[in-house]
Structure 1
Amino acid sequence: MNSQAVAFESFIEPHLQTLHNHCHYLSGSQWDAEDLVQEVLIKCYQYYQKTGAIRHPSTLLYRMTRNVWIDQLRRQRRYAAPVEEAADQPYSDINYAAARGLVEWLSEHLSEREAYMLLLSEVFCYSYQNIADELQCTVSTVRMVLHRSKRTLRITREARRKRISGGQMSEYSVEYWTKAIMNDDPGRQLRFI
């Protein structure tokens, strides 16, 4: 090990535990945190090689950690799995079952278009104008569809029926909206059947 690496190691040592804690907080997983720490340390060492001493190491580490984490998230979003592969991927998150149950329940009672608009409005808090822009329709159409779908759900609740014929969402749409709820992002490729 060269003298610069030894100096960097002694310089960074007091900040390692804080870095580990911050990485674990961001990633939510011990394994992902370890990977993130390694990437940040590599970037920090490269920076140290170029500049020498680092004036505010904790500030630099936080900024590097945040940037590396954002880069990792962007790389993960670029990969789009085929629908068949995505449907086969298991989720270990308990909230997945609740989100999936909600979307399946909506698919039993509403048409696909009604469910799309209701999810965008009630779950993702889109304004009527935003929904109209996303789905390429008018605001009055959005109002009408939301009114009709809410009325249908009220009637369903009052009648306590388990199934009302009308419309059903495709398996792809059920999976799409479940993942959208889990990721808190409805995405940009909305479509109607």
Structure 2
Amino acid sequence: MSADTRLEEPGGSGPGEVDEPAFSSLAERHRRELHVHCYRMLGSFDDAEDAVQETFLRAWRRRETFEGRSTFRAWLYRIATNTCLDVLAKRRPEPATGGEVLWLQPYPDRLLDELPAADADEPETVAVARETIELAYLVAVQHLAPRPRAVLMLRDVLGWSAKDVAEALGDSVNSVNSALQRARAGLRGHLPAERQDWTGGQEDAVTRELVRRYTEASVVTDIPALAVLLRDDVRCSMPPTPGLHVGRDAVVNDWVTSGFEGMKGLRTVPTAVNRQPAVAFYLWNEKVSAYLPLTIDVLRVIGGAIAEIITFHDDQFPRLGLPERLPAEGATS
């Protein structure tokens, strides 16, 4: 069956007659894309996991309401979107403020690779798929009120019509169009004016060289060498720890005052998060004679310089498939 299969068994039986294993099999085909959709809405990998589970539960309980007027996939997206709105109402009644998102979590590229491939003949679709999963976009989205956020996801990311969005959210078309205008205006307030600056773009030789220099300078804690790699307007944050540093001087000052320059015994593992280059840092631990997880720096590179560094704590290492420890230099694991 295609991804947009109707909820029917061979022979044309209706949705109410589909047994639970068959229903689960159909739903599971859409798990990754629904998870990414919920992640865009919520900004949290863990919350998205819970939302998808709740979506499947609601879908099974409401299977009689599937009338076949849309695809099964679209029906699941409708339930998932409303589930996310319920989550936002309960857990985060107010959107993010101040340019940072304390509940932000990374999304491993290895899991994003499970998504259906975007049509290579439609470069705009490919670009949207990449841009809307990068952390700068995710942070901006979390500053939107829940309803405009949902409209933005359905209209601009999924490409639904205003009529379909209105039906999914129980709104009028005029209300949806108004919400979309507010959402786009809100995005412009938190993203660079030029769309090409929203994203680091495709990784190229210049980006790879920059990441290499950043990694090497970080391992030896060479702050002056790191400083020259930063844009003047670089942003640095470390969710869930509060604190957003904006500008090269502010970021460098934070590194100096935090004692980063005196940190010794670092090793790194390259990785990729949210379609962005990332570096996982490990710190030598004498008690266990191994390097243990420390932090993950996710970089946004624009014009050959680092525009943003978002650092995540060591609790994210397992999700990213990173080693739980690195052996001593020259030793075997």
Alignment TM class, shorter chain as reference? 0.3 to 0.5
Greater relative contact order structure (CA < 8 Å, 6+ sep)? 1
Larger radius of gyration: 1
Q: What's the TM-score once normalised by structure 1's chain length?
A: 0.37
